């Protein structure tokens, strides 16, 4: 399965990050780790807005759709970052859900096996 393209952005003060956009989430990776942002349901159908409790990101802004606005809860003004000049593909969300971790398996859950208990014949 193809992964979403990595979109590289450059911000003020020589900060940079990469983002992968999916239909339901965005993964933003920087020097200090990564964050998973959920897609905002109240946004326009074509809007690429993702958020969590500390950050709201709006991708595809500006005349050439190369800007992203980062709205942090602790900073009053948005931070605008520009997409890397070498990337020419349009900013769009991948048409599939983002990767999710596998659910934890209950160690006490019953497990189906092909072992037979008892002395009866095999069921047909």
Would you give the distance in Å from CA 81 to the centre of its chain? 18
The model's pLDDT over 12-61, given as tens digits with 9 standing for 90+, comes to 988 999 999 998 999 999 988 899 999 997 656 567 999 999 999 999 99
Is the separation of the CB atoms in 67 and 58 below 8 Å? no
Residue 89 has pLDDT above 80, yes or no: no
């Amino acid at each position: 399965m193809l992964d979403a393209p990595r979109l590289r952005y450059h911000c003020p003060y020589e900060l940079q990050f990469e983002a992968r956009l999916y239909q339901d989430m965005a993964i933003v990776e920087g020097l200090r780790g990564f964050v998973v942002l959920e897609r905002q349901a109240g946004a326009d159908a074509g809007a690429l807005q993702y958020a969590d409790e500390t950050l709201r990101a709006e991708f595809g802004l500006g005349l050439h759709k190369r800007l992203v606005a980062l709205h942090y809860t602790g900073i009053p003004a948005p931070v605008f970052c520009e997409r890397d000049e070498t990337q020419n593909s349009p900013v769009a969300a991948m048409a599939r859900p983002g990767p999710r971790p596998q659910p934890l398996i209950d160690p006490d859950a019953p497990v189906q096996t092909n072992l037979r208990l008892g002395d009866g014949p095999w069921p047909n």
